[in-house]
Structure 1
Amino acid sequence: MDTLDRKIMTQLTEDARVSVSVLARRLDVARTTIQARIERLETSGIIGGYTLRPGPALVKHRLRATVLITIEPRAQPTILTRLRAIDAIIAVHTTSGRFDLLAEAVADTPAALDEVLDEIGQMPGIRGSESLIHLSTKIDRGL
């Protein structure tokens, strides 16, 4: 990726619906160059797709939590299957360090979030968990 590719990625991250013509004008590059670069970024897997990102009107009323999870050895496949079945879990990452997994959860009410956290804590194969409730977002680059 060169400087132009990074500029294209920045523009598309801010607004994935922007037209190739508008991108070309903003970046002062030929439309065909922008189109070819986008196709190459898609083909190479740098652009993995285009998706909807919920806006502040939806997100501001939802509670978010990061759940740091320690698991028993060899329990990961079973735990991932169980976490996948919980709609409130929007992402799970493996980690290095003290914790084995990092789960991101959302809920509409404190009681609903509490239920999700209890469900996670009661899963067989989980040694322990620590929850961090998100209070406010200071930086969000959407990546």
Structure 2
Amino acid sequence: MDDLDRALIALLTADARQPLATLARKLKVARTTVQSRLERLEATGAIVGYTLKLGQSAERPRIRASILVSIEPRNQASILTRLRAIPEVERAFTTSGRFDLLLQVAAATTEQLDSVLDGIGALPGVRSSESLIHLTTRIDRIA
């Protein structure tokens, strides 16, 4: 991946719906160059898809939280299997430091979120968990 590829990805990250001609003009290259770069980036897996990001008015209201989870040694695989079965768990990250996992969860109500948090804390092999409820989004660069 070279500088042109990175610049193309940056433009697409800002707005993936830009026409090829617009991208070519901004990058100061031919439209066919942009097309072939996109095809190559898709073929190599650097670009795996294009998504739709809903605005606040179209998005269902969701209460999100980050859950820091400390687990018993050698229980990560079984816990991850159980977490995959919980639809409110959107993402799970391994971490370094005091906690072993960082989970992003979303629920429609505080009651549902409370139930999910209780369920995660009760999983066999979970030592402890700490919840951080998301309030206001100040920066959002994820598409």
Alignment TM-score, normalising by the size of structure 1: 0.90
- Name the CA distance, whole Å, in 2 between partners of 1:58 and 1:90: 19
- Name the CA distance, whole Å, in 2 between partners of 1:59 and 1:2: 36
The offset of 1:58, in angstroms, is: 4.5
- Name the CA distance, whole Å, in 2 between partners of 1:128 and 1:91: 18
SS at structure 1 position matched to 2:92: strand
Which sits farther off after the overlay, 52-61 or 89-98? 52-61
Which sits farther off after the overlay, 103-112 or 60-69? 60-69
- Name the CA distance, whole Å, in 2 between partners of 1:58 and 1:46: 29
2:61 maps to 1:61: yes
Tell me which amino acid in the other structure corresponds to 2:28.
Answer: D
State the Cα RMSD in Å: 1.7
Tell me which amino acid in the other structure corresponds to 2:67.
Answer: V
Task: Look up the match of 1:77.
Answer: 77
- Name the CA distance, whole Å, in 2 between partners of 1:74 and 1:59: 38
Tell me which amino acid in the other structure corresponds to 2:57.
Answer: A
SS at structure 1 position matched to 2:57: helix
Listed as ranges, the gaps of 5+ residues in structure 2 are none
The offset of 1:59, in angstroms, is: 4.5
Deviations 1:105-139 (A, max 9, x none): 01111111111101100101100001111111111
Task: Look up the match of 1:12.
Answer: 12
Residues matched between the structures, number:
143
SS at structure 2 position matched to 1:82: helix
- Name the CA distance, whole Å, in 1 between partners of 2:125 and 2:58: 34
Listed as ranges, the gaps of 5+ residues in structure 1 are none
